[in-house]
Amino acid sequence: MSDELRVILMGRDIELRVISLIVRCRAISDEVIFLDLGSNDETIELASEINCPVLNYNGKMETSSVVNYLANCTLKEIATTLMIHVTPNWKLRDLPLTVNRARDNWDVHISVDELGDEQIVPEEVVLSSIGFNHLVVTPAGIRALCDIGPLANAMDLPENIRFRVVNSHSQVRVPQQESLATASRFAQLFYWMLESKHPLFLFGIPGIVLFVLGYKLSGNVVDTFDELNSTSIGVTLSVIAMTMIGLFAMMVAIILYIMGKQAEQIQSQYDWKNRE
């Protein structure tokens, strides 16, 4: 049980994000549970469709209330529990760093989300009433937090409890070495479009070029010719055709892009395997 990790996602009205969050968390944990905070959209239904257990919580978003609710649930005991409060400010790219902190063998690890850029003094933080961005607890940490008083701080915890509190606004920047290919964001985007045959690249860019050229040329084509003959009519029709083809190509690119996104969402929702 020493390596087991349970991730509990806490959120409200996140129907656009809940499936991607659950699928991503399942890849890096042993169990994923969604703790609903009173959603009014289809968040619960979407989580249930991909077989994710859903719990309902109507209490305060305070450490003591959440931990007591967790202790009274019928969940099996597991080595480490990571609770993530999914807010509009929380991004999926923060998940690997959060999981790494959960693997650091802390009994209680609290990421505070309400102190801004102020310096945190762990001895002065009231554990029972402080909000959190994410919370890591072990069975020993849960029992310790359930036994403390309403005004207790870190000094009131048992000596054998490994405790840590950090500011969630302090981003940890890891130095990375980048090649010339990965250093340029435009080069990454261009290479990805070529490899994936993206519709916005195959149809969108040629469509924009044809539409702009046709629009620019159409303003002076008719006035250039003094008389109406086969040459002037042919050039005019060619310019109109160029403009219409460009417009049609842009519409095709947008339609294919939307259809591709819908297909990816359906595949991730029903856990379909990719088929070429």
| Report for 58-72, 165-179, 223-237: range of highest mean pLDDT | 58-72
Write down the pLDDT at residue 10. Answer: 93
Give 261's pLDDT tier (boundaries 50, 70, 90): confident
* Predicted local confidence at residue 244, as pLDDT: 85
- Any idea what the Cα angle at residue 253 is, between residues 261 and 262, rounded to 5°? 15
In whole angstroms, give the CA distance from residue 201 to residue 57.
46
pLDDT confidence band for 276 (50 / 70 / 90): very low
Copy the structure tokens of residue 267. 């595949």
The residue with greater pLDDT, 53 or 158, is 53
| Architecture label for domain 5-167 | Alpha-Beta Complex (3.90)
Extents of the domains making up the chain: 5-167, 180-269
Q: What is the 3-state secondary structure (H, E, C) of 56-85?
A: ECCCCCCHHHHHHHHHHCCCCCCCEEEEEE
DSSP assignment of 146-206, as one string? HHS-TT--GGGS-TT--EEEEETTSPPPPP----HHHH-HHHHHHHHHHHHT-HIIIIIHH
The two structure tokens encoding residue 202: 């195959």
Choice among 5-9, 25-29, 114-118, 236-240 with the minimum mean pLDDT: 114-118
For 189-230, write each residue's pLDDT tens digit: 666 666 666 677 777 778 888 888 877 777 666 555 555 566
| DSSP symbol at 242 | H
Helix axes 205-224, 230-269, angle to 10 degrees: 160
Task: Write out pLDDT tens, residues 115-159.
Answer: 555 566 666 677 777 778 889 999 998 888 888 777 777 777 888
Tell me how far the alpha carbon of residue 209 is from its chain's centroid: 34
Share of the chain above pLDDT 90, in %: 18
pLDDT tens digits, one per residue of 74-104: 888 898 999 999 988 888 888 888 888 788 8
pLDDT for position 275: 44
> Rounded distance, CA 59 to CA 44, Å?
18
- Could you tell me the pTM of the whole model? 0.59
Q: Contact 162/104 with Cβ under 8 angstroms?
A: no
Residue 11 DSSP SS3: strand
Which of 22-36, 96-110, 162-176 has the largest mean confidence?
22-36
Neighbours of 94 (CB within 10 A): 17
Choice between 219 and 167, residue whose per-residue pLDDT is larger: 167
pLDDT in tens, 228-237: 566 667 777 7
